[in-house]
Amino acid sequence: MGTGILLFKLLILITILWYIIKFIVRSKGYPMHLFYRHLRDIHYMKQIIESEQSQIKKQGYTALLYSLYICIGGLVALLLWSLVV
């Protein structure tokens, strides 16, 4: 699989994960904007995880946030790799 295709798939996955987080943040009553303040949404998501009473929801939210982190890390690594090769 070409690097470009993998980059594209990672970007799509990151976008999907980020907007899922944005809509969770909005559903919990935090301010949210669709096109900016992405890092603030991460901060709010961490607050939601800390305040969540249900262990199952807390694990799901944590897995969602870590999935986003891993995808962003993979994207950065792939971008760096494509610069080297």
Which of 78-82's residues contact partners 24+ apart within 8 Å by CB, and which partners?
78/3, 78/6, 78/7, 78/10, 79/7, 81/3, 82/3, 82/7
Is 70 exceeded by the pLDDT of residue 1?
Answer: no
Query: H or E segment at 11?
Result: helix 3-27
Is 80 exceeded by the pLDDT of residue 13?
Answer: yes
What mean pLDDT comes out for the span 37-58? 92
What mean pLDDT comes out for the span 31-47? 86
Confidence of residue 39 (pLDDT cuts 50, 70, 90): confident
What's the CA gap between 24 and 17, in Å, rounded? Answer: 11
Position 26 scores a pLDDT of 93
Is 80 exceeded by the pLDDT of residue 34?
Answer: no
pTM, 2 dp: 0.87
Residue ranges covered by each domain of the chain = 3-84
What's the CA gap between 4 and 78, in Å, rounded? Answer: 10
